[in-house]
Amino acid sequence: MKSLELKVPPAAVLLACGAGMWLVARAAPAADVTIPARWILAAVLFAVGVGLGLRGVLAFRRHQTTVHPSRPETASAVVTSDVYRYTRNPMYLGLALVLCAWAVALENLVAPLGVPVFMAYLTVFQIRPEERALSARFGAPYDDYRRAVRRWI
């Protein structure tokens, strides 16, 4: 399935998973639950996710490298500072947290399954191809970074 590698923008995968989560929640009303203060919890998860993603984007901008997800071979630097000290993919982790917020808002026990689906898809079709491209472009510095910092968290 190499034909899907780096082809579907992560934001589109987010929207597709979010829509799937909503459809599953509507199809399985027996799995509905009540989450106390769900909107507060959802807002916190959403804010942390957006903040994490924005910090990742800003770190890329400071290092004047591309944030374009389908063109990792055009990267001009390996960014290892700021949030990249803790996760190699803060932008994608931020999107996953936004999906977590959506799962909380849906108040359904089946809806959160969209989060690992999102993460698995990105790992296979986005992150691993990015890692190959960055390793080919930057060699040892990127490989050392990859060994030192986890892919997600």
Exposure string for 22-42, b = 16+ CB within 10 A, e = fewer: bebbeeeeeeeeeeeeeeeeb
Residue pLDDT, tens place only, 51-108: 999 999 999 999 999 999 999 999 999 999 999 999 999 999 999 999 999 999 999 9
pTM flag (> 0.85): yes
pLDDT of residue 2: 87
Query: What does the pLDDT look like over 2-20, one tens digit per residue?
Result: 899 999 999 999 999 999 9
Judge residue 120's burial from the number of C-beta atoms within 10 Å of its C-beta, 0-12 exposed, 13-18 middle, 19 or more buried. Answer: exposed
DSSP state of 124: I
Residue 26 makes CB contacts below 8 A (sequence gap 6+) with: none
- Please tell me the predicted confidence (pLDDT) of residue 57: 98
Which tokens is 54 given? 């924005």
